[in-house]
Structure 1
């Protein structure tokens, strides 16, 4: 891009701030009308809730604001790239997205979309697309180089189903071809894809791997969402209706939220609800590698009935001196030395969690992450030592 084109893109920032979501809503409506096959790839629950439109609007705005130095967005781009790899996104699909995005800019801006502005955005999009394709190709190649690695979708069998709480089930997935599967770092996720009869097409979802790596299976633990008739609950409800022996499509592990199993740094794990799943993988990997790092885990959920893996974690806590857990229930049915009533307040826990050289991992709902992140910053923890995993589209930009 030349200097004039960059200035033209930057000049659209005020419009993107005030009307960015209108643009992205128009874009998705247009794209799904002309390319309905993409409904098999995009999360239609996030479309229905508006989260995907908001996330794209934020991403387009961030790119326009940083058009002169897009390298500052590299961590966000790598996160998006990992998500794209888990969905088997191809370079050809970037052409489709680019066509509808540029057309949407023309249609939404109307007379304000001069030929020079459109040309500038075409150049901007093409440059971004090439960056993303390069990032994703590197991830694809890295995965293929692993023992048991693969690209795209692979058929797995549900080998075991375990009820972990009143709303969470674990699914043990084994490859149908009985060949090796790729290793992963604790905290990473896989995508699964299954047909949703009520929608009439397939839907993918990302689920954190909830155990240390085992060479013969993957384990995911899925919360059954209450809104079973809305797109954001259809996949979890469909999974909860599946049986042992059913087949499901799975992508190779991906993600930038993980703990280095070879690091000796202390870990402070902070989770809300189903956000415990990637942190449990970190905990079990820690036990498996015998690193004996100090780990402090704070977990919050509604009550004992919905608390998944409670017995397992209590057993780990009791038998490993390197682990200390603090459990918070909004509703407490019985008195317990290990259960605290209420929600996590990191300021009240600062003596337990402020540890030299510690890394802090947060996972849970958007509001939960933001609250815990801000508390850690107020307590003097550097941003570089705080990592978080946001389920769904990337709406938070805290680092």
Structure 2
């Protein structure tokens, strides 16, 4: 495919204000038309995200960002990597980009009408082709790295264990008996289950791996969400049910049952084999179930050649019964002089293990230098609710920590 001409780049960039105004309408039209023409693609999308508009909003924001930065695509590198990793975890294939392109350009035309001139349409066709090629190339590299694991793989639940009042860990072993890849701690897998009431439509969700690599099983720790009672079929079909997959895992899946997994993916990770990081402080900040990817990072680093690096883990929860992995965090910290753990509980009781009552307040840790704010090599890994993470990031930026040294993991569609 020919590269965009300078004139086409200018045209696409000039459409950014139009996309900002009409983006949600365009992407809503796009999904309606594409899924109507290709119902088999429903298996790739969350029913809930379609119903709430989160999927449409995420695509609208991505298209707008592309138009805005089409003459400086380096600014989109993080977003491209995040999306490519997600696509690979769902086994998106190159030929599906043609389907998406056809319906995206069609939706733009349907919404804008005569405002979509031939010149603008041709520019956007070329621009979409360029973007598709970027994703196809990156995803091809990731598929190659995954090796034989190139389709959904069946796993059996061999252990189901409650971690707290709302989080349960599932230990999963591959049915084929083959070995598991050494993933990078912090990464996730996509887990897929059928929804029999909806003609077996498949639904997948991403769950962080909550153990260090190297076992014969993979562990995911899942927070129970959604209704306590069985939902009405019409609500289920309409995507009105929050926590569909997590709820079913908790209530319907037990030892011996099977699920399907994709290979580990994700750009949120630490490489314990990177010995150049041995002296770089590592600060982990988690809220609630946000501890799941961080416990994999924590254990992996402490079992590696970089185990001596200074580590601070700050974890917060509403109450003791909603905290994640705290006994393990604290016991491990006691065994390593270079590790400090601090626990915040909003509703602390006598006998609870905690250091501070209230929500996580990083300012309370400043005076002891536990945050390593004066170290220009310190790295920060943050996981929890979106708004909370944005707040932590802003606080760290005010203290002089650039975004390049802050790593945030988002448990939802889109980016922050």
Q: By the TM > 0.5 criterion, same fold?
A: yes
Determine if contact 1:156/1:174 at 8 Å carries over to the other structure: yes
Are residue 91 (structure 1) and residue 94 (structure 2) matched?
A: yes
- Mark the runs of 5 or more structure 2 residues left unpaired by the alignment: 232-239
Are residue 235 (structure 1) and residue 245 (structure 2) matched?
A: yes
**Shift in Å at residue 329 of structure 1?**
1.5
Determine if contact 2:226/2:244 at 8 Å carries over to the other structure: no
Are residue 111 (structure 1) and residue 110 (structure 2) matched?
A: no
**Shift in Å at residue 318 of structure 1?**
2.2
Are residue 354 (structure 1) and residue 372 (structure 2) matched?
A: yes
Cα distance in 2 for partners of 1:337, 1:321 equals: 19
Cα distance in 2 for partners of 1:87, 1:340 equals: 41
Q: What is the match of residue 167 of structure 2?
A: 168
**Shift in Å at residue 354 of structure 1?**
2.3
**Shift in Å at residue 335 of structure 1?**
5.8
- Counterparts of 1:197-208 in structure 2, within 5 Å, are 197-200=196-199, 201-208=201-208
**Shift in Å at residue 138 of structure 1?**
0.5
Cα distance in 2 for partners of 1:328, 1:367 equals: 18
The count of aligned residue pairs is: 392
* From 266, 280, 286, the counterpart of 1:271: 286
CA 305–338 in structure 1, closer or farther in 2 if over 3 Å, else same: closer
**Shift in Å at residue 198 of structure 1?**
4.2
Are residue 390 (structure 1) and residue 400 (structure 2) matched?
A: no
Determine if contact 2:155/2:258 at 8 Å carries over to the other structure: yes
Cα distance in 1 for partners of 2:363, 2:72 equals: 37
Cα distance in 2 for partners of 1:46, 1:300 equals: 27
Cα distance in 1 for partners of 2:323, 2:177 equals: 33
Are residue 250 (structure 1) and residue 284 (structure 2) matched?
A: no
**Shift in Å at residue 61 of structure 1?**
0.4
TM-score by length of 1: 0.95
Cα distance in 2 for partners of 1:382, 1:115 equals: 43
* From 40, 46, 66, the counterpart of 2:43: 40
**Shift in Å at residue 53 of structure 1?**
1.3
Q: What is the match of residue 213 of structure 2?
A: 213
Cα distance in 2 for partners of 1:317, 1:90 equals: 44
Determine if contact 1:58/1:395 at 8 Å carries over to the other structure: no
Residue aligned with 1:348, SS: helix
- Mark the runs of 5 or more structure 1 residues left unpaired by the alignment: none
**Shift in Å at residue 315 of structure 1?**
1.3
Residue aligned with 1:25, SS: helix
TM-score by length of 2: 0.91
Determine if contact 2:226/2:241 at 8 Å carries over to the other structure: no
**Shift in Å at residue 69 of structure 1?**
2.1
**Shift in Å at residue 227 of structure 1?**
3.8
CA 4–381 in structure 1, closer or farther in 2 if over 3 Å, else same: same
* From 341, 355, 380, the counterpart of 2:357: 341
**Shift in Å at residue 23 of structure 1?**
1.2
Residue aligned with 2:298, SS: helix
**Which sits farther off after the overlay, 179-188 or 228-237?**
228-237
**Which sits farther off after the overlay, 184-193 or 350-359?**
350-359
Determine if contact 1:211/1:219 at 8 Å carries over to the other structure: yes
